[in-house]
């Protein structure tokens, strides 16, 4: 089994079905986990030294963070409704709770925090939507926490890739400190498939092929991208969603395409 692929497990007592930590990934910045919660189930935590972005993947919840409280938020009951999610930004050093008011799925995204921003609700109308690419390279973007919105480290984005299309393509990377041309960002891809029995493929590789892994990705899997190019292909008949979490030494997303495939965007 690939070292970069994390598969979901049965929910624990907190509803947690998967988790990536800096320790488990062998990197410094990105943390990610998913909870499947039943209506009435409640989880509590503390952000510690890490800022958090709580993304309501589906369902509704009441969320508290520090002194703030948001009652029964959420609109998207299924990821593939494709409407933007509700999310909550939390700085480091605050306690929080999430109580599901319906069955729900919650993504907890984290990275080092520096206390520069307060807790806030991110509503669907604040989330920019766009389309990238053309033809079989078309995909649809929902920017949950982009560079243009305040945070210390985190970048969070949703991507919908139509069945049979490619995404994160042409292959690109962000693993060199060479701003303004390229930045260093670790990244996780949380994948969902519609219908759920589908699959997609993701390759992670470097120029010298010291890292070169190709993974068959199923519903609910996470792929870790510590470095290298990382294209994704959705199988015919199966629509692909993924939630990207990125963080690194500097909060800038600057990437370089694989020179062998850069001609694709110059057509």
Model confidence pLDDT, tens digit, residues 150-181? 999 999 999 999 999 999 999 999 999 999 99
Q: Which residues contact 158 (CB under 8 A, 6 or more apart)?
A: 84, 85, 141, 142, 144, 241, 242, 243, 244
Residue 52 lies in a domain: yes
Residue 5 lies in a domain: no
Residue 232 lies in a domain: yes
Q: Domain span at residue 204?
A: 10-266
Residue 3 lies in a domain: no
- Report in angstroms the alpha-carbon separations of 244 from 30, 39, 184, 202, 267: 10, 26, 15, 13, 27
Residue 109 lies in a domain: yes
Predicted local distance difference test score (pLDDT) of residue 267:
59
Residue 160 lies in a domain: yes
- 17 pLDDT more than 90: yes
Model confidence pLDDT, tens digit, residues 179-188? 999 999 999 9
CATH of the domain at 114: 2.60.120.10
Running DSSP on this structure, what letter comes out for residue 229? Answer: B
- 1 pLDDT more than 60: no
- 41 pLDDT more than 50: yes
CB 88 within 8 A of CB 120: yes
Count CB atoms within 10 A of the CB of residue 79. Answer: 17
CB 137 within 8 A of CB 169: yes
Residue 104 lies in a domain: yes
Residue 126 lies in a domain: yes
CB 211 within 8 A of CB 227: yes
* Cα 56 from chain centre: 12
pTM as predicted: 0.96
The beta-strand segments (E) located in 113-163 are 120-122, 128-132, 139-145, 155-161
Predicted local distance difference test score (pLDDT) of residue 96:
98
Average pLDDT over residues 129-152: 96
Structurally, the chain folds into a number of domains equal to 1
Cα diameter, the chain: 53
3-class SS string, 39-50 = CCCEEEEECCCE
């Amino acid at each position: 089994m690939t070292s970069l692929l994390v598969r979901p497990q049965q929910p624990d007592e907190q509803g947690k079905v998967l988790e990536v930590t800096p320790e488990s990934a062998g990197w410094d910045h990105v943390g990610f986990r998913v909870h499947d919660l039943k209506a009435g189930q409640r989880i509590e935590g503390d952000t510690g030294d890490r800022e958090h972005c709580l993304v309501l993947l589906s369902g509704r919840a009441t969320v508290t963070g520090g002194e703030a409280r948001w009652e029964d938020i959420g609109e998207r009951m299924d990821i593939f409704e494709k409407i933007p999610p509700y999310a909550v930004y939390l700085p480091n050093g605050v306690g929080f709770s999430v109580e599901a008011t319906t069955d729900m799925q919650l993504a907890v995204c984290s990275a080092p925090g520096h206390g520069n921003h307060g807790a806030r609700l991110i509503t669907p109308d604040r989330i920019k939507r766009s389309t990238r690419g053309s033809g079989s390279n078309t995909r649809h973007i929902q920017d949950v926490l982009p560079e243009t919105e305040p945070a210390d480290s985190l970048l969070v984005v949703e991507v919908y890739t139509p069945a049979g299309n490619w995404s994160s393509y042409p292959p690109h990377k962000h693993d060199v400190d060479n701003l303004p041309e390229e930045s260093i960002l670790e990244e996780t891809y949380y994948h969902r498939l519609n219908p759920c029995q589908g699959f997609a493929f993701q390759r992670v590789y470097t120029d010298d092929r010291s890292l070169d892994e190709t993974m068959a990705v199923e519903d609910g899997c996470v792929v870790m991208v510590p470095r290298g190019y990382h294209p994704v292909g959705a199988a015919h008949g199966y629509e692909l969603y993924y939630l990207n979490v990125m963080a690194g030494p500097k909060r800038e997303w600057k990437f370089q395409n694989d020179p062998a495939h850069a001609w694709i965007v110059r057509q």
